[in-house]
Amino acid sequence: MGQPRVIIVGAGPAGVRAAETIVAAGLTPIVIDEGQRAGGQIYRRQPENFRRPYKDLYGTDSDRAKAVHDGFDALRDHIDYRAETLVWNIADGHVWTASGTAQDALAYDALILCTGATDRLMPMAGWDLPGTYSMGGAQVALKAQAVSIGSQVVFLGTGPLLYLVASQYIKAGAKVAAVLDTSRFTARITALPDLLSLPSVLWNGIMLTRAIKAVGVPLLTGVTPVAISGDAQTGVTGVTVRLSDGSDRHFAADAVAMGYHLRPETQLADLARCSFAFDELTRQYLPVRDPDGRAEAPTPLYLAGDGARVLGARSAEASGRLAALAALSDLGMPVDQGAMIMLRREVGRYGRFARGLAKAFPWPHQQAAALADDTILCRCECVTVGDVRRTMDVTGAAEANRAKAFSRVGMGRCQGRYCGHAAAEVIAAHGDFPVADAGRLRGQAPVKPLPIAIGEAE
């Protein structure tokens, strides 16, 4: 009999460490990567002809980034690596992929999803103007293309990524007009007991904040977004926020990077029919899995890294190894139980720290109720907040997928990645019921657009 087929989706920290573990067991996994080069979003590699030092690209995580890159490079001859390949569906025990105009359907004995995280966004007036980017998009521009998204950039939102990307722009020589955080500083004091579970990581965050202040960039906390100003022809001209004392402050800018922490990229887990449960602390539905990464699903499915729960790149490495060991154990292969115990403890420490981050930088759900009716909610389909509210009033649609059917919110090319969470908050606020009752937008294949000229699966 041939060896079991293990497929790993994603080549970030979790995917690389999972692949290492599978290779060490004597198997040749298939590693599917949507990117051109391994590293994922957090350790995204620069183009091969770029020569910027690791320290400039990854800061305090430069050694970890290099270790992940070197680890993957050492694996290349021992894995079936499929770069620039999209997994657009998982069904009937097969992973459906597309690369260019070619597609394939791959059966598997174990599937490890390391899909990473994506931006979590809350709409505001003007966020659909040219020059407005997600925080992750702004970081991609800098890392992968060595460009700033504008000549004068405002960073708006909350969470560690807000400070990380702003500091990366400052270090690269870009002009940062302001860093505006919706969370209150007092929330960090409340979260300190959990944040102290990883003191070195906490210290790195403090140093990022100090570095931003040291160069004279305005850094405000506890702000409420009011509007991004500008027009469709000239793009962004500035950002207005409301301060805690009730006054408004305007910052001139020609670009805005916005984001409210991150959320797991769960659409593939959804297509694989994984169970989901609502997480009260972060106000979102997350895939159900056991401590080793086994998902509640009809086929052997394992979840690792931020695609299961956002715990950061360091935890992703540990959970990638752990999920791979769980898969090997379930395939009847010998594994080191002591190593699994240690990895569970490590992931647990990161879990406590992540709880602290959720408390320190909360998702600003209360903004949904205050959004004006003419605010764009779904940028793909140009659906406004008022469209969704009127849909609820006329049809009685009080659940995300029903509202989608009647209003087209979340029906565009991003499949609700950017508007889904905000739409649920708008629905819950308008209906005056818990956001958990609004449900979640169900994943649909294809998860991303496919070429019309795509051929039949081999």
The answer to pTM > 0.85 is yes
The fraction of the chain above a pLDDT of 90, given in percent, is 88
171 pLDDT higher than 70: yes
CATH superfamily of 367-438: BFD-like [2Fe-2S]-binding domain (1.10.10.1100)
114 pLDDT higher than 90: yes
Q: Residue 354: which pLDDT band, with cuts at 50, 70 and 90?
A: very high
Q: Rounded CA gap, 182 and 23, in Å?
A: 44
Same fold, 6-118+263-357 and 121-260: yes
In the chain, domain spans: 6-118+263-357, 121-260, 367-438
Chain segment 411-434, per-residue pLDDT in tens: 998 889 999 999 999 999 999 999
Can you give the pLDDT at residue 360? 97
CATH superfamily of 6-118+263-357: FAD/NAD(P)-binding domain (3.50.50.60)
Can you give the pLDDT at residue 48? 78
Q: What mean pLDDT do residues 201-216 have?
A: 94
CATH superfamily of 121-260: FAD/NAD(P)-binding domain (3.50.50.60)
